[in-house]
C-alpha cells in the first residue's frame, strides 16, 4: 500500500484529494507556486475533512499528515505517488513532468489529474513513460467517489494496477479506461450532454432554466440510480433502436463551441468565479450555492451507498 504521496498544484481539487488520501493513513505533501494559495490551503483541507466526517468515511487508526510546501523538489523527494493537478495546459504539464522526472524517486508513480489530455501525449517526452498514468478525480474529489484510471500507450500494467489498488484502499471506485481517448469516459459523456443542451437553448427550444429543470429532475434523477446501458435494458433495446433510428440524425453534431459560450468567455463572464456566466451570482449567492450543492451531493452519495471498490466497476 502506498504510504507517501505528493500533490503538485493544489487549485480547486488539491484539498479534497489531500483530505481523502490522508483519511486512509497516507502522508501527503502538497506544492503550489502561489504563496496565497499555500496560505489558505490548510483551511481548505480542514473543510474537506469535515465533509468526509459527514459522509461517515471513518478516520484511519493513524491518519496521515497533510503539509504544504513552496519547493517542488522537497515536496516530491520521497513520494511513492505524485499526482499532478496543474492547469489544463499541455505545455505547463510538460514542464511539470520534466521537473518530476528530475526530482521524484525513480520508482515513484507519476499520475496526472488531467480532465482530458491524452496520457500518451503527457508521457511521450519522458525517459520512463511506463510509470505515467492518468488518475482523473471528479470535482469535488472528496465527495464524488469514482476515479478514472487511464494508461497511455507506454504505461505499464503494474502502474495501472497499483493505482487501482490504492483507489480501492481509499474506499472509492476506480473505472479502468481501456483506450487513451481525449476526455476519457466521464467528460466525453458530459460534454456530449452539454453540447445538446446548449443546442436546444440556442435554437429556442427551451429556456436555460427550464432545460436545467428537465435534466435535473428527469434524466439526471433517473441516471443516478439506473446508469445508461442498464437503462437500455429497462426501456427495451427495441424501443431505443426505433427512436434512435430517426432521432440520432437530428441531434447536434457541431465540432466547434456554441456562441453562447464563446461570447461569454470573450467578455470575461466565466461563471461563478466571475459572478456571471449562464446565470448571475453575487459572492454571497455563489458561496451559498457551493455549500448547498455540496450538502446535496453528500446526501445523494449516502443514499446510493458510498463509493464501493474497484471490483464493482469491472
Pair (54, 131) in one structural domain: yes
Pair (157, 26) in one structural domain: yes
Using the predicted structure, report yes or no on whether residue 312 has a pLDDT greater than 50: no
Predicted pLDDT of residue 307: 62
Domain assignment present for 300 = no
Domain assignment present for 275 = no
Predicted pLDDT of residue 313: 41
CA separation for the pair 236, 233 (Å, rounded): 5
Nearest to 4, CA basis, from 109, 95, 115, 134: 109
CA separation for the pair 245, 88 (Å, rounded): 37
Predicted pLDDT of residue 314: 39
Q: Where residue 308 falls among pLDDT bands split at 50, 70, 90?
A: low
Pair (111, 235) in one structural domain: no
CA separation for the pair 306, 52 (Å, rounded): 11
Least confident of 49-58, 109-118, 142-151, 224-233: 49-58
Domain assignment present for 217 = yes
User: Residue written as cell 513532468?
Assistant: 97
> In terms of residue numbers, what domain contains 158?
4-184+307-313
- Across the range 121-138, mean pLDDT stands at 97
Whether the full predicted model's pTM is greater than 0.85, yes or no, is yes
Using alpha carbons only, give the angle 288, 39, 275 rounded to the nearest 5 degrees. 30
Predicted pLDDT of residue 59: 63
CA separation for the pair 260, 266 (Å, rounded): 11
Instruction: Give the CATH number of the domain where residue 242 resides.
Output: 1.10.1040.10
Pair (202, 167) in one structural domain: no
Pair (70, 215) in one structural domain: no
Predicted pLDDT of residue 310: 40
Q: What pLDDT, in 10s, does the model give residues 198-241?
A: 999 999 999 999 999 999 999 999 999 999 999 999 999 999 99
Predicted pLDDT of residue 56: 77
Predicted pLDDT of residue 62: 81
Using the predicted structure, report yes or no on whether residue 135 has a pLDDT greater than 90: yes
Q: Quote the percentage of the chain above a pLDDT of 90.
A: 90
Amino acid at each position: 500500500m502506498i504510504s507517501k504521496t505528493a500533490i503538485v498544484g493544489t487549485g480547486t481539487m488539491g484539498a479534497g484529494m489531500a483530505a481523502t488520501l490522508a483519511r486512509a493513513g497516507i502522508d501527503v505533501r502538497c506544492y503550489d507556486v502561489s504563496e496565497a494559495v499555500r496560505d489558505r490551503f490548510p483551511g481548505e483541507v480542514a473543510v474537506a475533512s469535515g465533509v468526509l466526517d459527514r459522509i461517515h468515511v471513518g478516520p484511519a487508526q493513524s491518519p496521515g499528515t497533510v503539509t504544504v510546501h513552496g519547493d517542488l523538489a522537497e515536496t516530491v523527494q520521497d513520494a511513492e505517488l505524485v499526482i499532478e493537478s496543474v492547469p489544463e495546459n499541455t505545455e505547463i504539464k510538460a514542464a511539470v513532468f520534466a521537473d518530476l522526472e528530475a526530482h521524484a524517486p525513480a520508482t515513484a508513480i507519476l499520475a496526472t489529474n488531467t480532465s482530458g489530455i491524452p496520457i500518451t501525449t503527457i508521457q511521450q517526452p519522458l525517459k520512463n513513460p511506463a510509470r505515467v498514468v492518468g488518475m482523473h478525480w471528479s470535482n469535488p474529489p472528496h465527495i464524488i467517489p469514482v476515479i478514472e484510471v487511464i494508461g497511455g500507450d507506454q504505461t505499464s500494467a503494474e502502474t495501472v494496477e497499483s493505482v487501482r489498488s490504492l483507489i480501492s484502499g481509499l474506499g472509492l471506485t476506480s473505472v479502468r479506461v481501456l483506450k487513451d481517448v481525449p476526455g476519457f469516459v466521464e467528460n466525453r459523456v458530459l460534454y456530449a450532454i452539454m453540447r445538446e443542451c446548449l443546442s436546444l437553448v440556442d435554437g429556442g427550444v427551451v429556456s436555460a432554466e427550464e432545460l436545467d429543470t428537465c435534466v435535473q429532475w428527469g434524466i439526471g434523477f433517473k441516471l443516478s440510480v439506473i446508469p445508461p446501458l442498464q437503462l437500455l435494458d429497462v426501456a427495451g433495446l427495441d424501443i431505443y433502436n426505433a427512436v434512435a433510428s430517426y432521432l440520432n440524425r437530428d441531434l447536434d453534431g457541431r465540432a466547434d463551441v456554441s456562441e453562447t459560450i464563446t461570447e461569454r468567455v470573450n467578455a470575461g463572464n466565466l461563471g461563478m468565479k466571475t459572478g456571471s456566466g449562464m446565470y448571475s451570482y453575487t459572492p454571497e449567492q455563489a458561496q451559498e450555492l457551493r455549500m448547498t450543492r455540496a450538502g446535496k451531493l453528500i446526501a445523494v452519495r449516502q443514499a446510493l451507498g458510498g463509493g464501493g471498490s474497484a471490483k464493482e466497476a469491472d
